[in-house]
């Protein structure tokens, strides 16, 4: 088995997740940690982050080595990959003390479509021919080995956006210190789902308070002058009028606004319409265009949050 990057979880309502909620959905807490994976290659345990293979000195690799149950489940069930959240402090600091420096599995995938496991009670579990093993199966597999995992907050048939946003804003208190609000958000899964392109994607809905906090942090940095040139440029050119104008054009042409298309068009506007003025205003500055792009797209997401797992700025649906 080789390096396989975990899917990019889409914002709720994205074109890639159309039809996701047309069935029984599992709603999971979205933990604010680092995506880490453990798997086997040539009979040896391998560890990876979202983007690269980890060496033996990485804290997560040492954690896996120190928890033999992880190695046992991988070696006794060849072909599976365990993806989980490695909990070190990021934006959300309200997790309980026993959360930190801990790994919680949120996905079990199998490249072996004929995988079978006999439980301690003698029952045979199979992956049902799916790459993404359903929670009701993988949770029992993990239980057999004592590997920790993230349980769903709820299982709902055909949930709507309001139901899911409420769970993100009010119900997601798993491993959160009592009285300290909710976690980052939730992830929506429907096992066996494939979109019209034949692909499987899950969706995320972000906690409104968390999104507001990130917005306030950005504004605070701007007011304190603790910003990069790229952030200042983005604030000056990506206005609400610009975003709404491009949003309206797409809606008129396509009937529906795809988040990726809006992001791409606004970024193209920045380059096509504003870059010459930027160069003149800042006297030919050295610009990190990757950072500028990220800053511009972050602003689009803040201005049209309903496309990216939030609610509209005016509170409408």
Last residue of a domain, one of 205, 238, 269: 205
Q: Give the span between the Cα atoms of 112 and 130, in whole angstroms.
A: 9
Q: Give the span between the Cα atoms of 77 and 15, in whole angstroms.
A: 35
> Angle at which helices 289-303 and 240-254 pack, to 10 degrees?
70
Would residue 217 count as lying in a domain? no
Position 209 scores a pLDDT of 78
What is the span of the domain harbouring residue 65? 8-205
Q: What is the pLDDT of residues 86-130, one digit of tens each?
A: 999 888 889 999 999 999 999 999 988 888 888 888 889 888 788
Position 14 scores a pLDDT of 78
Number of domains in the chain: 2
Last residue of a domain, one of 145, 174, 205: 205
Position 71 scores a pLDDT of 96
Do 258 and 196 share a structural domain?
no
Do 263 and 117 share a structural domain?
no
Position 211 scores a pLDDT of 66
Our CA angle for 20, 21, 22, nearest 5°, is: 95
Position 1 scores a pLDDT of 59
Position 224 scores a pLDDT of 60
pTM: 0.74
Do 242 and 141 share a structural domain?
no
State how far the alpha carbon of 291 is from the alpha carbons of 204, 287, 295, 297, 299, in Å.
Answer: 24, 8, 6, 10, 13
**Lookup: tokens for 73:** 């489940």
Q: Give the span between the Cα atoms of 91 and 19, in whole angstroms.
A: 31
Which residue, 158, 149, 156, is CA-closest to 171? Answer: 156
Q: Give the span between the Cα atoms of 183 and 94, in whole angstroms.
A: 8
Would residue 254 count as lying in a domain? yes
Rg (CA), the chain: 22
Which residue, 269, 266, 290, 270, is CA-closest to 278? Answer: 270
Determine contact, residues 30/186, Cβ cutoff 8 Å: yes
Last residue of a domain, one of 155, 174, 205: 205
Do 240 and 168 share a structural domain?
no
State how far the alpha carbon of 288 is from the alpha carbons of 161, 205, 235, 301, in Å.
Answer: 37, 30, 15, 20
Residues in the chain where the model's pLDDT stays below 70: 1, 211-226, 309-317
Q: What is the pLDDT of residues 143-185, one digit of tens each?
A: 999 999 999 999 999 999 889 999 999 999 999 999 998 998 9
Do 198 and 119 share a structural domain?
yes
Position 191 scores a pLDDT of 97
């Amino acid at each position: 088995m080789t390096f396989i990057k975990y899917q990019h979880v889409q914002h709720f309502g994205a074109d890639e997740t159309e039809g996701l909620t047309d069935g029984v959905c599992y709603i999971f807490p979205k933990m604010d940690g680092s995506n880490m994976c453990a798997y086997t290659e040539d009979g040896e345990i391998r560890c990876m982050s979202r983007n690269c293979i980890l060496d033996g000195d990485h804290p997560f690799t040492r954690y896996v080595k120190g928890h033999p149950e992880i190695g046992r489940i991988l070696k006794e069930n060849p072909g599976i990959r365990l993806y989980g959240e490695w909990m070190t402090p990021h934006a959300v600091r309200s997790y309980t003390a026993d959360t930190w420096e801990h790994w919680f599995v949120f996905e079990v995938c199998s490249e072996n479509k004929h995988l079978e496991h006999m439980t301690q009670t003698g029952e045979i579990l199979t992956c049902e021919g799916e790459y993404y093993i359903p929670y009701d199966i993988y949770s029992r597999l993990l239980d057999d080995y004592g590997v920790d995992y993230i349980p769903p907050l709820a299982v709902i048939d055909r949930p709507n956006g309001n139901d899911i946003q409420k769970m993100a804003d009010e119900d997601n208190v798993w491993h959160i210190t009592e009285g300290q609000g909710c976690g980052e958000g939730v992830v929506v899964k429907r096992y066996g789902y494939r979109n019209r392109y034949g692909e499987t994607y899950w969706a995320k809905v972000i906690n409104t308070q968390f999104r507001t906090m990130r917005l306030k942090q950005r504004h605070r940095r701007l007011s304190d002058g603790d910003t990069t040139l790229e952030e200042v440029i983005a604030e000056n050119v990506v206005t609400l009028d610009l975003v709404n104008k491009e949003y309206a054009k797409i809606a008129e042409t396509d009937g529906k606004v795809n988040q990726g298309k809006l992001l791409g068009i606004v970024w193209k506007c920045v380059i096509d319409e504003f870059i010459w003025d930027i160069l003149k205003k800042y006297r030919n500055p050295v610009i990190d265009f990757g950072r500028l792009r990220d800053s511009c797209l972050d602003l689009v997401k803040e201005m049209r949050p309903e496309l990216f797992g939030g609610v509209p700025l005016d509170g409408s649906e």
